[in-house]
Amino acid sequence: MNTNSASKKAISMVCLIAGIILLAASLIQDISGSGAGWRGPALIIGAIGILLGMYLFPTLKHHRSIVNFIFVFPLLFTFVVTVIIPLCLGVFYSFTDWNGIKMTGFVGFANYKAMFNEPSFLWSLIITILFVVLNMVLVNVVAFMLALLCTSKVKGLSFFRASYFLPNLIGGIVLGYVWQFVFNNVLIKMTNNISLLSKTNTAMMAIIVVYIWQYAGYIMLIYVTGLTQVPKDVLEASQIDGANAVTTLFKIKIPMIAATITICTFLTLTSAFKQFDVNMALTNGTGSVTSFFGNYLTNGTQMLALNIYNTAISKNNYALGQAKAILFFIILAAVSIIQVRISNKKEVEM
């Protein structure tokens, strides 16, 4: 028994060490940009080696926990490989001169300094924040009104719910080109032969309209779920007490779906911040800004996600694009946390 246990322990240690070495080597080669042919297999084999070493380790006390971890591992491994590792590598690359394939050295905070000295980026950041604020309010108001309609006694509620949700099923790229045709060909006769996409201000309004049209139906379904869960006996008691529809709405329904409102505002905020496909398909970020801190800009409708994409892909400046993406992540995470905390406080007050 002791010999068998010792051999199992030796095999498990070999598997663990080999797995850790393969994982570390694959990550190091990914940073250096070489060894592209064997990085993926090394990463997978290394992970399997670590799991096998954990499973073979001769211990009875933690064996069940190890087996449970092995079952959870595929999902955990996917999350680490697709989210955690790219995030860590992204932070690392933002301090280098990475060109998308390899790096030659560290540049410190040079990318971050260049980012804040770029007027087009600052403009994209400002209009993105304005876009988020406007859409967080408008989408939720429109969606809530549609939800009230879809929970009323109007006939054909299933048809209305399906119709309002349908735009959310259309891809953003396709949606952008469809609405581009509408603005440039259909509505042009209603606006004195001037396309809404021809000017920066009206083009941003057009993007807001398309975003509301696409996303309000999805948020509506969440509000419908919240409204249908309001206890009927509470609504009947309010009617007996003489409360009218407006009083019932603001004093009973809205306070009782405070958690739903928190979810909807959070989803709207994060989705608006990450707006990319409709922005690219509808205007591709074009639009003139005559004076922004003394600079003439041609990216009047280019929001933050599209600006990051163009910096990395179009301008082939991956390190600077990565620095912008890291700042984007920090802003989005901070705003989301603040929004959720404020909403939770409002829930308690209601």
C-alpha–C-alpha distance, residues 87 and 199, integer Å: 37
148, two tokens:
């009230």
C-alpha–C-alpha distance, residues 304 and 238, integer Å: 47
pLDDT in tens, the chain (350 residues): 456 677 777 888 888 888 888 888 877 776 655 555 677 778 788 878 887 787 777 664 566 676 777 778 788 888 888 888 889 989 999 999 888 888 888 998 999 999 999 999 999 999 999 999 999 999 999 999 999 988 888 788 888 888 888 888 888 888 888 898 888 877 776 666 777 888 888 899 999 999 999 999 999 999 999 999 888 888 888 888 888 888 888 888 888 898 899 899 989 999 999 899 999 999 989 888 888 888 888 888 999 999 999 999 888 899 999 999 999 999 988 988 888 888 777 666 65
Q: Write down the CATH number for the domain with range 114-349.
A: 1.10.3720.10
C-alpha–C-alpha distance, residues 343 and 311, integer Å: 35
The structural domains of the chain, with segments of one domain joined by +, span 2-93, 114-349
Residue 293 dihedral angles phi and psi, to the nearest 5°: 55, 40
Q: In whole angstroms, how far apart are CA 319 and each of 32, 98, 102, 103, 118?
A: 14, 5, 10, 9, 15
Residues with Cβ within 8 Å of residue 62, at least 6 apart in sequence: none
C-alpha–C-alpha distance, residues 56 and 46, integer Å: 15
Q: Are 190 and 197 in contact (CB under 8 A)?
A: no
Q: Is the pTM of this model over 0.95?
A: no
> How many residues are present in the chain?
350
